[in-house]
Structure 1
Amino acid sequence: MTAHFTPETQQNFLAAMQHVYGPFTHLSPSSASTWTPPPNSEGHRGRYLWTDAFAVINFLTLHKSTSNPLYLTLAAHLIQNVHDILGYSRDGTKRLDGATDAEPLKGGLRIGKMEESGPDGDGQYFHYLTIWMFALNRMSLASGTKTYNDLALQLAKTVHPRFMVNRHSQRPRMFWKMSMDLSHPLVRSEGNLDPIDGYVIYKLLQQTDGEGSTVLVEEICDYKKILETKWRGYSSDDSLDLGMTLWTSHWFEGEEEWATGLSQRASRDLGKLNSEGYFDLPTAYRLAFREFGTCLGIRVRDTATELQPIFEALARKLTTTWETKNVVPVPAGGTIEVREKLVPITCVMHATALFPGAFQKDFFCH
C-alpha cells in the first residue's frame, strides 16, 4: 500500500467520516452499544448502499489500525441498520420478497435512491451488492465471526440468477439494474465491471467459507466465462471506473492472467487520462468522489511499475485539490464543487482515498 496512516491522515480520515456519521470517537462502550447511524442526506430513509458499504470498510480500517473495539461495534451497527432499511420495502412494512427473519438477505438490498421510480429510481445494482458483500466479508475477517460471510453468501446466491441470463451458454450476459423485488430488469445493458466484480468478490467469499469450499463454484464459473471475453478489450476514460478496475484486479494480479492484463490496461488508460490533462480541468466540471475512487485503485497496489510513482503523485494531487477547495474532509458552507446529496459519498470515499486499509488484499494478514 502506498499510503500511510499518519496522524494527519488519521485526523482527516476521522473528520470526513464524522461529518457523515456524527461524532463517534469519544463514545463510551455503553453509548456505542446503542449507537444508531444518523441518516445520510443522499439515501432513502437515510441509507445508501454504496456509501454505507465504504463506511463499514472504513470503520474496519480504523479498528485494525488503532486496535480500538469501538470501530468494530460501529461497523456492526451500521450493517444492521442497512439491513433493517434497505432490506425492507420503501415503506418499511415488510422485508423484500424472498427474505425472512432467518434469511434476511434473500431478497437482496435496495440501492437507497430517493425516487421510487423513473430513470434514477430505486432498485438493485449488482456492483452495489458486491461491494456490500465485500464489506460483510471483511467484517467476518475483522471480527472472527463467520455469520457475516454467511450473510454475504446468502446475498450472493440470491442475486446471481436474477442478474445473470443465459447462464449455460458460452457467453452469459448480465443486467445492470434490477427492480426492487428482483422480478425484472430496469436496465438491460451489462455493466462494464459487473462480471469482474462478481468473479473477484464471489471468490473471496468462497475462500473465507473455508478451505476446499465450493459453495459458489458454479457462480464463479459463470462470471469467468464473461470475464474471459471482456478483459482483453478493456478500455475506459472514466476516473471511477479505472480506479475500481485497479482495485478489483489487484486481488489476483500476478496470479491470474486476466487480472495482470486488466491492471495493465487500466494503468495505460489512467496514464493517458492524466497526460491529456483531464485532472487539470476546473473542478466545477469534475466529481470529487469519482476521483477518490481513482485514488483507491492507485493506493492499494504494491506493483512496482514505471507509472506507479506518477500515479502516487496523482493520488496526492487529487486529495489535495479537493481539500484545498474545502470540499473535504468537511465541506465548507456554500461550496459549489459538491451538491448536497453527494456530500456523504464524497466524504466517505475521501477517507478511503486517504488510506484504503481494509480494501487492500493483505490488510488483515499483518
Structure 2
Amino acid sequence: MSKPDKITRFTEAMKTVYGPFDQLSPDDAKAWTFPDDPGAGGYHGRYLWTDAFGVVNFITLFKETGNAVYLTLAKRLVQTVHDVLGRTRDGSKRLDGATDEEPLRGGLRIGKMDARGSDGDGQYHHYLTLWMFALNRLSIAADEVQYNDLGIQLARAIHARFMVHCLSGGMKMVWKISMDMKTVLVPSEGHLDAATGYAVYKLLQDTAARQGHREHVLQKEVDDYWDLMVKKRKGSLSPGTDYLDVGMGLWAAHLWKHERWAERFCDRALPVAGELLSSTRMRAEGARLAFREFGTVLGVGCWDVGEGLRARVDGLMAFWERWLDDEAEEELKPISRVMYASGLIVGGEFFLKTFG
C-alpha cells in the first residue's frame, strides 16, 4: 500500500470516530466539537484508551501532511478529555483533588458506560500511562512544555494510588481503582503495568530535563517501577499470549529500546507476535477482536523486523480492511478504527528522534 493511500485510509478511519475534520479551517479547528454519539465510545462519547490513540493519531497526521490543523485538533481533544473524564460523571465538578489550575490531580476516568459493576467506571493504570504518553508526544510536537507538565501532574497524582504495601514489606500494583481513587476495585496486577509505568514515567522525566525545565522530577516513581519489574518479579517481563498484551509490551519496550530489559523483552516477544499473527488465519472473523489484533500490529511496527513478520502484519491488515465494517459489537467500532489507523502508520516514533 502506498503512503498516500495509507494516509487516506488513516484519515477515513479517524473521521468515523471524530467527525469530518479534514476540511476544517484553522479557526474552525480551534472550536471543533468532537462527536459524542458514539464518538470515541464510552460514557458521553469519551473513552480514555481510544482518545489517547486519537491524540497520537492527530499528531501523526500533522507529521505526515504538515497541516497544523491536525495539531490543533490534538490539543482540542486533550482539552475535551480533561473536561469530561477529568470530572465526575454528571460533569458537575472535577474529580477529587483536582482544580481548574491542576486538572489532572484527580486522575482521569476510564469512561465506561456503567458507573458501577464488574465493568463499571473507574481508573486503569494502563490507560492513564497511555494518556501520559499522548501528552508527552503533544508537548514535543507542539513545542509546548505545559503538556508534558500535565503528564507529570497526572503521573504524580496516581502513582501512590496504584501501589499497595504488602504484609511482607514489599509493594505490589493493583489493576483498577475507583473514580475518586480511594478504593481498590481490582486487586490483581496488570501483567506489564510496572514496565509500562517505568517506560512512560522515565520518558516524562527525560523530556522535562531536555526541555530545560526540571531534573529527576519523577525519579522516586521510576525507581519504584524498576524495583517491581526487575528486582522482584523478573517473570513479569515475559510476554503473554494475548494480542494486545504482546503488542503493548513491545510498544512500551521500544521507548527505551537500547536498554537491556527492552532488548530481552523484544527478543522474546517478537517470535510470540509472529505465532499470533500466523494463527489468525485459522480463526473465523466473528471470533476475533480487531482492536486487540491491531495492538500486535502496532507493537511489531515499533521495531525493525524481517520481511516474513512484516508480511504477516500486512496480511492481517488486509483481512481487517475487508471485515472491519462488519464488526458485530457497535461499542467496539471506535476503538477498532482508531487502532487500525495506528497500525497503518505507527505514530510517536518521529518525535522520539527529536531527543536522539
TM over 0.5: yes
The CA deviation string for residues 179-209 of structure 1, in whole angstroms up to 9 with x for no partner, is 0000011000000011011000000000110
Query: How far apart, CA to CA, are the structure 2 residues paired with 1:357 and 1:88?
Result: 28
Partner of 1:10: 7
Q: Output the amino acid matched with 1:11.
A: T
Query: How far apart, CA to CA, are the structure 2 residues paired with 1:164 and 1:5?
Result: 46
Is 1:271 the counterpart of 2:295? The answer is no
SS in 2 for 1:362: helix
Query: How far apart, CA to CA, are the structure 2 residues paired with 1:287 and 1:127?
Result: 19
Q: Between Structure 1 and Structure 2, how many residues are aligned?
A: 349
Residues 231 and 261 in structure 1, CA contact (< 8 A), matched pair in contact too: no
Q: How far did residue 101 of structure 1 move? A: 1.0
Distance 1:261 1:125, change over 3 A: same
Q: Which residues of 2 match residues 167-316 of structure 1 at below 5 A?
A: 171-211=170-210, 213-228=215-230, 229-232=232-235, 234-253=238-257, 255-275=258-278, 277-302=279-304, 304=305, 308-316=306-314
Q: Which residues of 2 match residues 29-48 of structure 1 at below 5 A?
A: 29-41=26-38, 42-48=41-47
Root-mean-square deviation over aligned CA pairs: 2.0
Q: Output the amino acid matched with 2:347.
A: G
Query: How far apart, CA to CA, are the structure 2 residues paired with 1:123 and 1:186?
Result: 8
Q: Which has the higher mean CA deviation after the structures are superposed, 98-107 or 356-365?
A: 356-365
Query: How far apart, CA to CA, are the structure 2 residues paired with 1:40 and 1:294?
Result: 28
The CA deviation string for residues 2-24 of structure 1, in whole angstroms up to 9 with x for no partner, is xx870100010000000111111
Partner of 2:316: 318
Q: How far did residue 279 of structure 1 move? A: 4.2
Residues 175 and 190 in structure 1, CA contact (< 8 A), matched pair in contact too: yes
Residues 171 and 225 in structure 1, CA contact (< 8 A), matched pair in contact too: no
Q: How far did residue 359 of structure 1 move? A: 4.9
The CA deviation string for residues 245-289 of structure 1, in whole angstroms up to 9 with x for no partner, is 111111222x222111111121232233345x2443111111011
Structure 1 unaligned segments of length 5 or more: list them.
Answer: none
Is 1:128 the counterpart of 2:127? The answer is yes
Q: How far did residue 309 of structure 1 move? A: 2.2
Residues 231 and 258 in structure 1, CA contact (< 8 A), matched pair in contact too: no
The CA deviation string for residues 152-180 of structure 1, in whole angstroms up to 9 with x for no partner, is 00000000000012299874210100000
Larger relative contact order (C-alpha < 8 A, sep ≥ 6)?
1
Residues 142 and 364 in structure 1, CA contact (< 8 A), matched pair in contact too: no
Residues 270 and 300 in structure 2, CA contact (< 8 A), matched pair in contact too: no
TM-score, normalised with respect to structure 2 = 0.93
Q: How far did residue 311 of structure 1 move? A: 1.9
Q: How far did residue 361 of structure 1 move? A: 6.7
Residues 300 and 360 in structure 1, CA contact (< 8 A), matched pair in contact too: no
Residues 239 and 245 in structure 2, CA contact (< 8 A), matched pair in contact too: no
SS in 2 for 1:132: helix
Q: Which has the higher mean CA deviation after the structures are superposed, 83-92 or 228-237?
A: 228-237
By percentage of residues, which structure has more helix?
2
Q: Which has the higher mean CA deviation after the structures are superposed, 115-124 or 231-240?
A: 231-240
Residues 162 and 183 in structure 1, CA contact (< 8 A), matched pair in contact too: yes
Query: How far apart, CA to CA, are the structure 2 residues paired with 1:131 and 1:169?
Result: 31
Give the percent of matched residue pairs that are identical in Structure 1 and Structure 2. 48
Query: How far apart, CA to CA, are the structure 2 residues paired with 1:358 and 1:5?
Result: 20
Could you tell me which of 333, 337, 341 is aligned with 1:351? 341
Query: How far apart, CA to CA, are the structure 1 residues paired with 2:88 and 2:139?
Result: 27
Q: Output the amino acid matched with 1:59.
A: F
Q: Output the amino acid matched with 1:292.
A: F
SS in 2 for 1:294: helix
SS in 2 for 1:31: helix
Q: How far did residue 363 of structure 1 move? A: 5.2
SS in 2 for 1:210: helix
Partner of 2:79: 80
Distance 1:279 1:248, change over 3 A: farther
Structure 2 unaligned segments of length 5 or more: list them.
Answer: none
The CA deviation string for residues 55-75 of structure 1, in whole angstroms up to 9 with x for no partner, is 000000011111111001100
Q: Which has the higher mean CA deviation after the structures are superposed, 257-266 or 213-222?
A: 257-266
